Amino acid sequence: MTAIDLSSYFGLAAMTLLTLNILIGLVMSAKYNPVRNWPHRRINTFKIHNWTAYIALTIAAIHPVIILFSSTAKFTLVDILYPVNAPRQPWINVLGALALYTLAFVVLTSYFRRELGRKKWKTLHFTAYGTAALFYAHGILTDPNLKDSPIDFLDGEKVYVELCMLVVIVAATVRIRWQLRQPPARVHRPKPVVARKPLR
């Protein structure tokens, strides 16, 4: 197994965890209760959601670093951090770098969500969908052997990435349709204060 092969496996592992993380996030946003519904178990989905994000970020960060140990890729640390002038597939690797940086942004802002406040954090958290899009685009367009070969969309790895992307798109669509069917939130208006007549 070469360093490039190992890097590719790390990339697929990070993408798998990110896909799982988004699916868990969609379930949580619909207020799904695993005790009342299937699997009728007490599951800390919040903790699982957090840890899949932390592990995905760690693996995604290791993914490009492994390429530095390849004798054929000829990547430097600068090419990893700022791949605009990378020796192979620079713009596709820019997508990968952006995916990594936006994932770090999502994880970091989630860590400080209490300090940011729920409304601001929730707005920033939607970056996760852009992160997923960058990950999937990078995974589909990259030549896993770094030889600038034409993309084989029916290659096993590409099909896996495409299926992960499709699952997220379908799940997000179902979640949006579910939200549209929900009754509008009730507005709690304070009761008018009735002035008491002075006692005589």
- Taking residues 21-28, what's their average pLDDT? 96
Q: Quick one: tokens of 1?
A: 């197994």
- Taking residues 144-149, what's their average pLDDT? 85
pLDDT of residue 89: 92
Q: Are 83 and 63 in contact (CB under 8 A)?
A: no
The per-residue DSSP string of 104-138 comes to HHHHHHHHTHHHH-HHHHHHHHTHHHHHHHHHHHH
Does the residue 103 lie in any domain?
yes
HEC-encoded secondary structure of 63-88: HHHHHHHCCCCCCCHHHHHCHHHCCC
Q: Quick one: tokens of 37?
A: 């519904």
Q: How far is C-alpha 88 from the geometric centre of its chain's CA atoms?
A: 25
Residue 88 has pLDDT above 80, yes or no: yes
Q: Give the residue from 58, 56, 50 showing the smallest Cα distance to 15.
A: 56
Does the residue 153 lie in any domain?
yes
pLDDT of residue 145: 85
Does the residue 159 lie in any domain?
yes
User: What gap in Å lies between CA 191 and CA 18, rounded to an integer?
Assistant: 46
Does the residue 78 lie in any domain?
yes
pLDDT of residue 184: 78
Domain count within the chain: 1
Looking at per-residue pLDDT, the higher value among 104 and 31 belongs to 104
Residue type, 175: R
pLDDT of residue 146: 86
pLDDT of residue 40: 87
pLDDT digits (tens, 9 = 90+) for 89-140: 999 999 999 999 999 999 999 999 999 999 999 999 999 999 999 999 999 9
pLDDT digits (tens, 9 = 90+) for 148-199: 888 899 999 999 999 999 999 999 999 999 888 888 766 666 666 666 666 6
Q: Which domain holds residue 41?
A: 3-181
Does the residue 194 lie in any domain?
no
Does the residue 148 lie in any domain?
yes
Q: Quick one: tokens of 74?
A: 């000829």
pLDDT of residue 39: 86
- What separation in angstroms does the CA of 164 have from each of 5, 94, 122, 144? 20, 21, 24, 17
pLDDT of residue 188: 63
Is residue 68 very low, low, confident or very high in pLDDT (cuts 50, 70, 90)?
very high
Does the residue 200 lie in any domain?
no
Q: Quick one: tokens of 54?
A: 């932390």
pLDDT of residue 197: 63
Does the residue 199 lie in any domain?
no
Rounded to two decimals, the pTM is 0.87
Compute the chain's Rg from CA coordinates: 23
User: What gap in Å lies between CA 158 and CA 12, rounded to an integer?
Assistant: 10
